[in-house]
A = this chain, B = another copy of it.
Amino acid sequence: MDEIKIIEVKQSVFADNDHDAERLRQSLKRSKTFLLNLMSSPGSGKTSVLLALAKVFASRGIMTLDEPASIVRPSLRMRVMEADIDSSVDAQTMKDAGIETIQIHTGGMCHLDADMTRQGLEELGYKDFDLVILENVGNLVCPAEFDTGAVRNMTILSVPEGHDKPLKYPLMYETCDLLVVNKTDVLPYFDFDCEKVVEYAKLRNPFIEILFVSAKTGEGMEALADWIEKETRAWIG
């Protein structure tokens, strides 16, 4: 079992988070690094979606490992940062699947702020990578309140959670550029209305893009990889 790098981040109480976030984004622009902030409830499938995504990316020559790039020049270099309260379950899952990951521990905090994100990115050596995906703490409320400095925000809603979530957790949908509806493979077993979820999400944010996927079967994962790759290339130029 590979050793996981764990970063214990501390919140800077007096920081102006919006200012920190903007400064981090400028620094990401300079280093040509696209940071995607991935948020959802616990159990929506953030880690499973990342695992399925890594498979698609591998087929496109996007590197998620430190293997020597002697055979083909990687089209993009990607890393994952896992943020958890104090466990390393997800980072271990990623490592076991062969994806280079660092673990951020928030020490009980329910979200990451921009300065905590910066601490994690610096440990990661983010300037060497084109794409970093931050798996935020599983929470549909607090992470939406703190700009992490990411270039884009994405949220996952899984079918078993129900299509009413955009009505009940408005800020998450207001702040996200992309909504991924996951676990479409279990649609037959739940009263989930795909048209309603689109209607409710657009009500919160008319500009939000929406994709339907199943990390389990791979359905829709190519389209999700397309979206991330397109946004990454637009940012890094």
A residues contacting B by CB (< 8 A) are 41-43, 84-87, 89-90, 108, 110, 137-142, 145, 158-162, 164-165, 167-171, 183, 185-186, 189-190
Contacts and interface: CB of A to CB of B under 8 A. Distances in A.
A42 B140 contact: yes
B161 A43 contact: yes
A113 to B, nearest CB: 15
Nearest to A160: B160
Contacts of A186: 160, 186, 189-190
A169 B41 contact: no
A160 B41 CA distance: 12
Contacts of A42: 41, 140, 161, 165, 168-169
A168 B41 contact: no
Given A41-B138, A142-B141, A167 B108 contact: no
B85 A164 contact: no
A41 to B, nearest CB: 5
B89 A169 contact: no
Given A89-B164, A186-B160, A138 B169 contact: yes
Given A43-B165, A140-B138, A183 B170 contact: no
A181 B41 CA distance: 17
B164 A108 contact: no
Contacts of A85: 141, 168-171
Contacts of A189: 185-186, 189
Contacts of A43: 41, 158, 160-162, 165
Contacts of A84: 168
A142 B108 CA distance: 9
What 5 A-B pairs have minimum CB-CB distances, sorted nearest first?
A: A43-B161, A160-B160, A110-B141, A41-B41, A41-B42
A123 B183 CA distance: 40
22 contacts: A41-B41, A41-B140, A41-B161, A42-B140, A42-B169, A43-B161, A84-B168, A85-B170, A85-B171, A86-B170, A87-B170, A89-B164, A89-B168, A108-B171, A110-B139, A138-B140, A138-B169, A139-B139, A139-B142, A158-B160, A160-B186, A185-B189
